[in-house]
Copies of this chain bind each other. A is one copy, B any other.
Amino acid sequence: MTKKSFPLSKVYGLLEPGPVVMLTTARSGHPNIMTLSWHTMIEFEPPIVGCVISNRNHSFELLKATNECVINIPTVEIVEKVVGCGNSSGANIDKFKMFSLTAKPAEQVGAPLIDECFANLECRVIDTDMVAKYCLFVFEVIKAWIDPTVKDPQTIHHLGSGNFMIAGERIKLKSKMK
């Protein structure tokens, strides 16, 4: 699909609602995908994101070695692939092949974009001070992409143990909050 550049100032609105994301990394031409929900915005602009990645995950070592990743945001259309990636380890398999996902080159980082996701955020690790204690990486989003044809993305939200909530109705209220 054809993605458009997305303003960095609006990235927080993609992650703040708390979707399940697919984090991609790559080393020596071998890409990996990890499914996770433990992320938070830390700053609006430049967009800074905190992300907990257990050291039991293959992606932990890839991230430590490369300091780069892409946060890809899936919708319910590919939920089987999202859960499949969460159920398997990239130490043994190529998840792009296994789950028929398309790796597209990123612009700023070595990790690939997952084409089937409606949004892709290219990230650099900017702070590892909290990795030893909490496995918490701090990323700066340096380039963002969006599929302009997706209007109200049906993002997936994990309730635990394979139970998911799908993004529902949209409402707007008068708010002073950014």
Contact = CB atoms under 8 A, between A and B. Distances in A.
Contact of A18 (B83, B154, B157, B162): B157
Counting chain A residues whose Cβ lies within 8 A of the other chain, the interface size class is 35 or more
Contact of A40 (B40, B83, B167, B172): B40
Contact of A177 (B39, B86, B138, B157): B86
Identical copies of this chain, number: 2
A79 B173 contact: yes
A39 B178 CA distance: 16
A170 interface: yes
Contacts of A136: 42, 50
A175 B159 contact: no
A52 B83 CA distance: 28
Interface of A: 10, 12-13, 16-19, 35, 37-43, 48, 50-52, 76, 79-80, 83, 86-87, 127, 129-130, 133-134, 136, 138, 152, 154-155, 157-178
